[in-house]
Amino acid sequence: MASQPDNASTSDEKLVRAAQRGDMVAFEELVARHRDKIYARAFSMMRNEDEAVDLSQEAWVKGWQRLKQFQGESSFVTWMTRIVINLCLDQLRKQKRHRSESIEMLEEESGGVERQMPIVTVNPTERLERSELRQRIDKALALLSVEHRTVLILHEFEELEYKEIAKRMQCSIGTVMSRLFYARRKMANLMAAYKREELS
């Protein structure tokens, strides 16, 4: 009797090819390998555990349905990440219709608030362990508005250009630039505040 292939040691490329031929066991291995990353991206954007789980599952289902379209131009996990990002953006757009704007967000959107924030001169992330840095980043991300967090994630983690971000967020490039600027300045000031708390 032929032995089952050891999927755990098989490359993503081989698993994808098998899954494209209908091998669901191969696809399940891909899910197991990359589920945390896809979930983490959804959670970064949605900041809600249940929504992130649901959206990440939906992304995997869509990934299976569209697998034949995957040509290997990017890595499989990058391709899957784009799917979950698009689902999150759709969900955020639906939620925006029902979300009331806070005064703080309106001030952020109108611009100028970030100019009141002092320039951070000392690098607040120096000598931090990577895990601690990631925790602080996560804590600071939670304090940004949806729009600012989204543009930051798309630029800094997804490494998209301004034009691509504008297309996905359905806004102008100017809006992307000002949101990104605000988000970065806010992050810098938050990280500096965490550093001060640590030292005091």
Interface with other proteins by CB under 8 A: which residues?
24, 28, 31-32, 35-36, 39-41, 43-44, 49, 53, 56-58, 60-61, 64-66, 111-112, 115, 119-121, 123, 125, 130, 133-135, 137-138, 141, 152-153, 155-157, 161-162, 177-178, 180-181, 184-185, 187-188, 191
Name the minimum Å distance from CB 97 to other proteins. 23
| Rounded-to-integer distance, Cα 32 and Cα 7, Å | 11
**Residue with smaller CB distance to other proteins, 5 or 64:** 64
How far is CA 143 from each of CA 14, 149, 166, 169, rounded to the nearest angstrom? Answer: 41, 9, 22, 20
Closest CA to 115 of 175, 184, 185: 185
d(CA 31, CA 77): 10
Give Rg (Cα) of the chain.
20
Compute the least distance from the CB of residue 141 to other proteins, in Å.
7
Shortest Cβ distance from residue 100 to other proteins (Å)? Answer: 27
Q: Give the shortest CB-197-to-other proteins separation in angstroms.
A: 17
